[in-house]
Amino acid sequence: MNGVWREGNRVRLLENGEEYYPRVFEAIAAARSEVFVETFILFDDVVGQQLQRALIDAAKRGLRVELTVDGYGSHDLPGEFVRAMVEAGVRMHVFDPRPRLLGFRINIFRRMHRKIVVLDGRLAFVGGINFSFDHLREHGPLAKQDYAVEVEGPLVADIRRLAESAVAPPRRWWWRRPPPPKDAAQVNVGNAVALLAARDNHRRRDEIELHYREAIRRARREIVIANAYFFPGYRLLRELRDAARRGVKVALILQGRPDMPWVRWVALTLYDYLLRAGVSIYEYCERPLHGKVAAVDDDWATVGSSNLDPLSLALNLEANVIIRDRAFNAQLREHLQQLMADRCEAITPEQAPPRTPWRQLLTFLAFHVTRHFPRWAGLLPGHRRPALPVTVTPAVAATARPAANVPKPKKKAA
């Protein structure tokens, strides 16, 4: 595991777009030297337009503004939307842009799934919330339930370093890299000990999963995991089973009203195995659950972009903040317990799918797929290609309709 624990941080939990967007836009407006934004999805809607205006204003104030979006998640950005930012001085990057093939998006593997904002090297936001209207309750019944964490303190330098690595040209000498802001905060500002866990396709392939497994293995009292897309690897499933069998109270909050129907069907194949081991399963049915958070015992918590599914754990670029702070843990745990009590349906063994021969076969196949998927993932298209974004130039933006039509980078050695 490559992440480093940093002491002296101040952390704050943000729930949904109602808390996240105003705080991020306020912070961008107050930035003095630089703004980094990474998002899987950016739409040309009311939220995307607010971000666009905030970044344009920052660029016009003379700040360094770097925006990175994913070529799959943000595939339909209008050229006019992109051009307005680029001409104002925003440096925009598209991760793995590819044209459609017969109308279908083909860059489905190895997505840049992170959601990160870093301001002046002093303040950062990490979580699962994209810049799109469907993260606001105003969107209606399909508005997403999600979380992010605001971070101040020494950990921000690690988050900034990760964000800059996505936009720095390859093989760029260290003395040619723009230096960090002079006012970047390295002093202790709070009591939280925190670590940035990132997943990539090079040296940090399983870092996030390893932290989950270690925390589950060390749990002595309680584990609460809320995760939108749940189909983890065999080893993580086994750790959850073993924790429940040794007396740890293990609770999973999963989607009961998913945004994609197959999500629940896939998770159902694991219900019998987990329930028989003593794991409690709650389905959040108020609206689609998009969160990726967990709390273990009294002093371990995580908030980030990583689902517990094969895409996040074996293919995507992801980022989670792992926090050791009793106050933050208590706040998150209390929120999740209230969610289970008021807005979830507890799944009993009787409600689980019956153990028919067909269901047992599906469960058997699910276990073996999750057990071997990380090794198989290396054979999937694009997995070994470098994670290099594409800079959108004014000339390209003027002619591109969607941002995903930006010419893709030349292939380089992994």
pLDDT in tens, 61-90: 999 999 999 988 998 899 999 999 999 999
Question: Is 48 inside a domain boundary?
Answer: yes
Is 411 noted as a catalytic residue in this protein? no
Task: Please check whether residues 367 and 395 belong to one and the same domain.
Answer: no
Is 115 noted as a catalytic residue in this protein? yes
From 113, 135, 144, 211, the catalytic residue? 113
Task: Please check whether residues 24 and 100 belong to one and the same domain.
Answer: yes
Q: Name, in order, each residue with C-beta under 8 angstroms of 364's C-beta and a sequence gap of 6 or more.
A: none
Q: How many domains does the chain have?
A: 2
Task: State pTM to two decimals.
Answer: 0.87
Rounded alpha-carbon distances, angstroms, from residue 367 to 85, 208, 229: 46, 20, 16
For residue range 287-311, list pLDDT tens digits in order: 999 999 999 999 999 999 999 998 8
Side-chain half-sphere exposure of 98, counting CA atoms within 13 A: 20
From 44, 206, 272, 297, the catalytic residue? 297
Question: Is 318 inside a domain boundary?
Answer: no
Per the model's pLDDT, the better-predicted residue between 103 and 280 turns out to be: 280
Question: Is 411 inside a domain boundary?
Answer: no
Task: Please check whether residues 329 and 391 belong to one and the same domain.
Answer: no
Question: Is 410 inside a domain boundary?
Answer: no
Closest alpha carbon to 248 in 300, 210, 296: 296
Residue ranges making up the domain that contains 186: 6-199+384-405
* CA separation for the pair 190, 398 (Å, rounded): 46
Task: Please check whether residues 29 and 156 belong to one and the same domain.
Answer: yes
SS3 (DSSP) at 124 = strand
Is 135 noted as a catalytic residue in this protein? no
Contact (CB, 8 A) for 112 and 38: yes
SS3 (DSSP) at 311 = helix
Is 139 noted as a catalytic residue in this protein? no
Q: What percent of the chain has pLDDT over 70?
A: 79
From 75, 115, 144, 211, the catalytic residue? 115
Closest alpha carbon to 11 in 156, 199, 202: 156
Task: Please check whether residues 223 and 266 belong to one and the same domain.
Answer: yes
In this predicted structure, what is the pLDDT of residue 400?
Answer: 39
From 120, 134, 146, 158, the catalytic residue? 120
Question: Is 313 inside a domain boundary?
Answer: no
Task: Please check whether residues 212 and 188 belong to one and the same domain.
Answer: no
Is 290 noted as a catalytic residue in this protein? yes
Task: Please check whether residues 128 and 147 belong to one and the same domain.
Answer: yes
Question: Is 414 inside a domain boundary?
Answer: no
Per the model's pLDDT, the better-predicted residue between 332 and 387 turns out to be: 332
Question: Is 136 inside a domain boundary?
Answer: yes
Question: Is 272 inside a domain boundary?
Answer: yes
What CATH number has the domain bearing residue 125? 3.30.870.10
Closest alpha carbon to 402 in 89, 44, 90: 44
Is 70 noted as a catalytic residue in this protein? no
pLDDT range class, residue 390, cuts 50, 70, 90: very low
Task: Please check whether residues 29 and 168 belong to one and the same domain.
Answer: yes
Provide DSSP, 364-401. HHHHHHHHHHHHHHTTSTTTTS---EEEE-HHHHHH-S
Task: Please check whether residues 345 and 397 belong to one and the same domain.
Answer: no
- Range from 103-107, 262-266, 335-339, 380-384 carrying the lowest mean pLDDT: 380-384
Task: Please check whether residues 141 and 215 belong to one and the same domain.
Answer: no
Task: Please check whether residues 15 and 114 belong to one and the same domain.
Answer: yes
Contact (CB, 8 A) for 332 and 13: yes
In this predicted structure, what is the pLDDT of residue 102?
Answer: 61
Task: Please check whether residues 186 and 270 belong to one and the same domain.
Answer: no
For residue range 97-149, list pLDDT tens digits in order: 766 666 666 666 678 999 999 999 999 999 999 999 999 999 999 999 999 99
Helix and strand totals (H; E) in the chain: 11, 16
From 158, 292, 309, 325, the catalytic residue? 292
From 93, 135, 290, 309, the catalytic residue? 290
